[in-house]
Amino acid sequence: MINEEKLVKALLAGVNNAHLDIKAAALIAIGDSGMIDEDRLVRALEDGAQNAHPTVKSAAYTGMG
């Protein structure tokens, strides 16, 4: 596995983490990284935008921008 694949895997794992601060950081990083294919990027950010927690929702919108 190359380094980029490792980073993508880690970011996607972060989005699914139970800790809201980790989930929020991963959503922002996904939007900024440009490494994740568009389908997974959009799915992760849309899921985050629908999260009830304001920190996660805010991070998803930040990642979209």
Q: What is the pLDDT of residues 11-63, one digit of tens each?
A: 889 999 999 999 999 999 988 887 788 888 889 999 999 999 999 999 999 99
Q: For residues 47 and 13, give the distance between their C-alpha atoms in angstroms, rounded to a whole number.
A: 14
DSSP character for 10?
Answer: H
Helix (H) or strand (E) run with residue 26 in it? helix 20-33
Contact of 43 with 14, CB cutoff 8 Å = no
The reported pLDDT for the residue numbered 31 is 85
Query: Interhelix angle for 54-64 vs 20-33, to 10°?
Result: 0
Residue 1 pLDDT > 90: no
DSSP character for 40?
Answer: H
The reported pLDDT for the residue numbered 51 is 93
Task: Report residue 27 as tokens.
Answer: 């959503």
